[in-house]
Every structure is written in C-alpha cells, then in structure tokens.
C-alpha cells in the first residue's frame, strides 16, 4: 500500500511532512525504478538540442542507435550455438547541470520499454540503487536487475568511495549478464570553462568496466537558470501559509522541524514521504550548517523534483534558496550534489511562486 500523508484530527488543517512516518518495502523500491513523473513524457522526439552545442544532437543520435541495439533480436542459429553473445552497450553522459542529460536518459528508458515491453528497463539515481542493495542484499539485487534489458543510473556519484566500489561491482555483474547500461554524472560549473569534465574520474573509479563504456559529452548551459528567476526574493511566511491553506495535497512545515524529522527517516523513504503531496510550503528557511543535514536536504530536493512538486519558501532574514548551503560546502567534496540541488530547488521555487501569485 502506498504511504500517504498523515492528516490531523481537524480535516481542514494543513498537513505536514513532519507528521508522515513512511514505511517502504523492498518490493516497492524495485517497483519505483522507473522514470520519475517529471520525465514521464520525455522522449527522444521531444528533446530540443541546442544548435550552439552540437554535442547535444550527437548524443541524441547515438542514444537512438543504442535503443535500437538493445531492442534488436538476440543472435540465433549457428551464431548462438557458437556462443557469440552480443556485447551489451554501455554509455556514460557527462556534462554540466541542466543540459538535458536526464531527459535523454529517461528517453532511452522509455524507448527500450516501448520496444521490449513493460518492466524491461530500470531507471533510478545512484542513491536509489545503493539503497536497493542495502534493502535486498547484493546478490538479490543482481538477480532482480539482471532480468532487465537496460539499467539506467542517473547522477552517478563519486564522493563516497564505498558506494562507488559497490556500484562498480554491481555494474560489472550486470554487464557480464548481458544487461545494457547507461549512466549520467555532472561536471561542476567552475570546471566547464576549463574544458574539464567528470568522465576521467568516472572511468577511473569503475576500473574493470572502463573499456566497456562509451563516453558521450553533453555541452550546454543550465536550462533551469535560463527559464526561471533563480534569485527571486523569498515569500513572506503569511503568503506561504495562505497559498497552502485549503489546497488539496498541500503541506506546510517549519524548516527546522522538517530537518529534524528527516533525520529520523531513511533517505530511501523520502519518495514515500511525498506520496499524495502536490505542494510543499516551508517557513523559517535558513542556511544549513551541518553537512549530514545538508545531504538529507539534497535527497529531498531530488525526490521533489522527480515528482514535480512545487515549493514555497519563506526565509529567515531574507534567506534565499541560493544561501541554503555555505561557501565551504560548495567548495567541498559534496559540491556536485549541492549545485544540483540549488539548480532544481530554484526551478521548484519559481513554480511555487507562480502558484502563490498567478497574476
């Protein structure tokens, strides 16, 4: 059964994420490995390559070829008897934030599903796969995913050595069993101008699989920053409360209370925390000072973005979402996560602002 928000005794009262105690089964973790709602309609045909960055169109063309390779019939006859198995494709998309890599990755997942049938493509973030291994165990995870034609890993992360080794081993097992692989990762904005991308780090960390992966570089600017005002002033607390009042699926939380609650919920359950939620209002937003708390915020923002849940933000002393993470955090080992979260939160906050003030 899906987990839904816990309502208060007063049916007219606004619900709160801090009141939700989600419980998630391993079966649900597997069932949730599909493209998120935000990209439910993403297809190759709807991707708009920027002509100023030819690598976007080149990546689009190559992924369409990969989809066709995966959907092609398996070898038969003499070739099959001789044991000549087709090597499954493995592609890695590298680029900055908001250049359309996730749109392309989900388009690939949709194309394979439409060609090979429901359940043939698994799609999840790096964190969702590591959570799956934690819930099922390594070998059961391999068995479950080896039944897929394609496994997509969005936001491949290199900041935790243990998780990186675990994921590298998982990918190797899947590739050896004939599963096609596709992954994305982000390059930091301050490295783009230097021509430095993350592919070298990725290939080094996956070691034995490096020669199997084809690197596809995706250049471009962050479309979320082109399309929205990401530095708008925060809303007044009263405006946030008014916007969520009596709105179906809306929740209202004090930021400090929500952060305290997140510490009691495993990140693998943050998606279930948002079941039935259509709008999140947050008051008392202030800079996060502790790393472990900031990382929980990143996971929550990712799940909000996956589900297209707008956010209304009211900051203390004029705090904007841009000030959520300290300069030290943005220079540290988890900076890719934080930059991605800021990019996504800015888009969600602007959508929330439009809901609060449609005029």
Does residue 232 sit in the same domain as residue 334? yes
Provide the pLDDT for residue 200: 72
Does residue 291 sit in the same domain as residue 325? yes
107: in domain: yes
CA dist 327 and 353 (Å) reads 26
Does residue 168 sit in the same domain as residue 70? yes
Task: Choose the final residue of a domain: 195, 221, 247.
Answer: 221
Neighbours of 257 (CB within 10 A): 16
Q: Tell me, what CATH number does 97's domain have?
A: 3.40.50.300
State the maximum Cα–Cα separation within the chain, in Å, rounded to a whole number. 73
Per the structure block, which two tokens stand in for 128?
Answer: 């969702």
- Stated pTM of the model: 0.80
| 196 has pLDDT over 90 | no
* DSSP character string of 242-311: HHHTT-TTEEEEEHHHHHHHHTTS-GGGHHHHTTT--EEEEEEE--B--HHHHHHHHHHHHHHHHTT--E
Does residue 62 sit in the same domain as residue 211? yes
The predicted-structure confidence for 304-324, as pLDDT tens digits, reads as follows 999 999 999 998 887 788 889
Does residue 116 sit in the same domain as residue 196? yes
**Quick one: pLDDT band at residue 258, thresholds 50, 70, 90?**
very high
**Which is higher by pLDDT, 267 or 198?**
267
How many structural domains comprise the chain?
2
Provide the pLDDT for residue 319: 77
The predicted-structure confidence for 35-82, as pLDDT tens digits, reads as follows 999 899 999 999 999 999 999 999 999 999 999 999 998 665 545 444
The predicted-structure confidence for 322-348, as pLDDT tens digits, reads as follows 889 999 999 888 888 898 899 889 989
**Which is higher by pLDDT, 219 or 144?**
144
């Amino acid at each position: 059964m899906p987990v839904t928000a816990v309502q208060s005794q007063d049916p007219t009262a606004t619900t709160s994420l801090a009141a939700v105690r989600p419980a998630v089964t391993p079966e649900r973790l597997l069932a949730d490995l599909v493209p998120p709602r935000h990209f439910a309609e993403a297809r190759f045909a709807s991707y708009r390559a920027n002509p100023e960055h030819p690598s976007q169109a080149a990546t689009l063309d190559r992924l369409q070829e990969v989809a066709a390779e995966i959907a092609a019939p398996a070898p038969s006859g003499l070739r099959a008897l001789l044991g000549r198995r087709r090597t499954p494709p493995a592609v890695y998309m590298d680029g900055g934030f908001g250049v359309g890599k996730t749109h392309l990755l989900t388009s690939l997942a949709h194309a394979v599903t439409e060609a090979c049938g429901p359940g043939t493509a698994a799609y999840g973030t790096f964190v969702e796969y590591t959570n799956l291994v934690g819930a099922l165990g390594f070998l059961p995870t391999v068995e479950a995913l080896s039944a897929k034609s394609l496994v997509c890993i969005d936001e491949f992360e290199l900041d935790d050595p243990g998780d990186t080794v675990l994921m590298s081993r998982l990918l190797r097992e899947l590739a050896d069993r004939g599963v096609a692989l596709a992954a994305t990762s982000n390059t930091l904005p301050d490295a783009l101008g230097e021509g430095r991308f993350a592919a070298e780090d990725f290939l080094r960390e996956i070691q034995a699989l490096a020669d199997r992966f084809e690197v596809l570089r995706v250049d471009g600017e962050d479309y979320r920053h082109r399309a929205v005002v990401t530095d708008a002033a925060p809303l007044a607390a009263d405006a946030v409360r008014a916007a969520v009042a009596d709105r179906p699926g809306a929740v209202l939380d004090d930021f400090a209370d929500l952060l305290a609650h997140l510490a009691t919920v495993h990140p693998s359950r943050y998606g279930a925390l948002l079941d039935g939620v259509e709008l999140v209002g947050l008051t008392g937003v202030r800079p996060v000072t502790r790393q472990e708390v900031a990382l929980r915020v990143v996971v929550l923002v990712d799940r909000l973005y996956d589900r297209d849940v707008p956010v209304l933000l009211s900051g203390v002393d004029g705090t904007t979402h841009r000030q959520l993470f300290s300069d030290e955090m943005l220079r540290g080992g988890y900076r890719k996560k934080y930059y991605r979260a800021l990019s996504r939160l800015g888009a969600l906050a602007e959508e929330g602002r439009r809901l609060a003030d449609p005029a």
